[in-house]
């Protein structure tokens, strides 16, 4: 047996229904908030992420799946969707064709991380991005959408953390204060942090090394160094969250591990997920579109990890795996032909009908119907054929009755409608 690649998973029947529930709920919500779906390629030029996600991020330094293709081009399997959506926004001048460029996408992302529960090398994101709106009310709306998503999925024990990381105006003063506060303690930090202190001191807040934490906890906070414009913006976002009635706390360490963020950053954490508890994260990136060669347009968005949302779902979901409406059992060659015709009629009527291809004994066919959870079995034998009937067996009560062949499809449809009505009551 050749096993799956480390850090990748098969999503099996039984789990796929939970995925479909998450994806379906997200699509409905995104569209309700005015987002349009976009699909971009999984492979992009490596430089898109080097420039977009940022040279000093862990993603670009350690985690990208990059290779040189047969034409000599440096290609990367996308580690996140934001740079791809920015690229598409610029490449297709979407601001000209869309009233408000609000985009969503979903699909696989790739990061060479150490796999553990909730962290994979191939994982999936639901991602939304809005371009061109500077007003802080869009930050509030995007956070409201993120919050609405976790609520609609019934995920409990969630908390919203927000922060402001400032802008190119106020960032240098903060970085100076950070380096100053670190002082000689920088030598006590891990190798990664010592490197970060040189390249991008803000990244020190991403450090997870336990021994470094007391030093990092003493460092200054970005919110204390915001310029006036950033402070007004942050206050407005907080006021909007109050209007929406969304509880949050300001997390001073929430600088997020990607280089493009300006001003608002946020994450939703699910308490019961363990170490990998961020179900979604996002923020504003006012310089990224221009940095990637586009016009001077701001942007904001978030991405949720589908694996983590699925892990955080309540055990009891209002979704069930597909169950047949009827199982068709046949005895004998002639009956088998009629059974195929009946199967065809049931399926054309939009019903879920299953059959035992190997045509074994009635007992084994009933067993299979039972395993599939079919509420009705339509039995066709020589007697039934002769009388133009089918025998309908109700599995719940083990009772059976003859029904004219031409009424069988309508009966199965009626029973399904009754079951659905009962389920929604």
| Residue 172 zone, left/alpha/beta (φ > 0; ψ -120 to 50; rest) | alpha
Q: Which of 51, 102, 111, 405 forms a contact with ligand HAM (CB under 6 A)?
A: 111
Q: Which of 201, 305, 324, 381 forms a contact with ligand HAM (CB under 6 A)?
A: 305
Q: Is 120 in the site for ligand HAM (CB under 6 A)?
A: yes
Q: Is 44 in the site for ligand HAM (CB under 6 A)?
A: no
Residue 12 three-state SS: coil
Contact 22, 149 (CB under 8 A): no
Q: Is 338 in the site for ligand HAM (CB under 6 A)?
A: no
Whole-number Å distance between alpha carbons of 320 and 316: 10
Q: Is 101 in the site for ligand HAM (CB under 6 A)?
A: no
Whole-number Å distance between alpha carbons of 425 and 415: 15
Q: Which of 279, 335, 369, 377 forms a contact with ligand HAM (CB under 6 A)?
A: 279
Count of residues that interact with ligand HAM, criterion CB under 6 A? 26
Closest to ligand HAM by CB, 64 vs 408, is: 64
Q: How far is the CB of 301 from ligand HAM (least distance, A)?
A: 3
Whole-number Å distance between alpha carbons of 125 and 109: 7
Whole-number Å distance between alpha carbons of 379 and 403: 10
Binding to ligand HAM (CB under 6 A) within 376-395 occurs at: none
Q: How far is the CB of 66 from ligand HAM (least distance, A)?
A: 16
Whole-number Å distance between alpha carbons of 297 and 153: 32
Q: Is 76 in the site for ligand HAM (CB under 6 A)?
A: no
Which range binds ligand HAM by CB under 6 A, 113-121, 208-216, 359-367, 373-381? 113-121
Q: How far is the CB of 338 from ligand HAM (least distance, A)?
A: 51
Q: Is 89 in the site for ligand HAM (CB under 6 A)?
A: no
Q: What DSSP line would sit under 146-170, residue for residue?
A: HHHHHHHTT--SEEEEEEE---TTT
Binding to ligand HAM (CB under 6 A) within 241-270 occurs at: 258
Q: Where are the alpha helices (DSSP H) in 245-331?
A: 288-291, 306-312
How many whole angstroms from its chain centre is CA 323? 26
Instruction: Give me the residues that bind ligand HAM (CB under 6 A), please.
Output: 80-82, 111, 113, 118-120, 123, 125, 127, 129, 258, 278-283, 301-305, 307-308
């Amino acid at each position: 047996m050749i096993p799956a690649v480390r850090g990748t998973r098969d999503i099996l029947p039984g789990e796929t229904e939970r995925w479909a529930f998450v994806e379906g709920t997200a699509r409905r919500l995104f569209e309700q908030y005015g987002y349009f779906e976009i699909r971009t390629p999984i492979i992009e030029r490596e430089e898109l992420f080097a420039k977009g996600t940022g040279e000093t991020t862990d993603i670009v330094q350690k985690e990208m799946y990059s290779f040189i293709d047969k034409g000599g081009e440096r290609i990367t399997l996308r580690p996140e969707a934001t740079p791809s959506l920015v690229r598409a926004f610029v490449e297709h001048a979407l601001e000209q064709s869309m009233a408000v460029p609000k985009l969503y996408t979903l699909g696989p992302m790739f990061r060479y991380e150490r796999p553990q529960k909730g962290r994979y090398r191939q994982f999936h994101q639901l991602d939304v991005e809005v371009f061109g709106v500077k007003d802080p009310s869009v930050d509030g709306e995007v956070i409201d959408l993120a919050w609405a998503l976790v609520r609609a999925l019934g995920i409990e024990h969630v908390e919203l953390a927000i922060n402001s990381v400032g802008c190119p105006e106020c960032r240098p003063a903060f970085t100076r204060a950070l380096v100053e506060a670190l002082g000689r303690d920088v030598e006590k930090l891990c190798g990664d942090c010592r490197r970060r202190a040189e390249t991008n001191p803000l990244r020190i807040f991403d450090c997870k090394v336990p021994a470094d934490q007391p030093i990092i906890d003493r460092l200054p906070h970005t919110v204390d160094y915001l310029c006036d414009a950033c402070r007004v913006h942050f206050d407005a976002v907080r006021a909007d969250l109050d209007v929406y009635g969304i509880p949050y706390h300001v997390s001073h360490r929430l600088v997020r591990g990607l280089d493009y963020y300006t001003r608002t950053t946020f994450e939703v954490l699910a308490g019961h997920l363990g170490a990998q508890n961020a179900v979604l994260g996002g923020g504003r990136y006012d310089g990224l579109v221009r940095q990637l060669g586009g016009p001077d347009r701001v942007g904001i968005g978030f991405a949720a990890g589908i694996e983590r949302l699925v892990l955080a779902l309540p055990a009891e979901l209002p979704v069930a795996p597909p169950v047949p409406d009827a199982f068709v059992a046949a005895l004998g060659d002639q009956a088998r032909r009629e059974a195929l015709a009946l199967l065809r009629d049931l399926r054309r009527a939009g019903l879920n009908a299953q059959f035992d291809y190997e045509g074994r004994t009635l007992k084994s066919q009933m067993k299979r119907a039972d395993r599939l959870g079919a509420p009705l079995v339509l039995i066709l034998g020589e007697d039934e054929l002769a009388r133009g009937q089918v025998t309908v067996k109700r599995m719940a009560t083990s009772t059976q009755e003859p029904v004219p062949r031409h009424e069988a499809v309508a009966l199965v449809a009626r029973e399904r409608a009754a079951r659905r009505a009962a389920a929604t009551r």
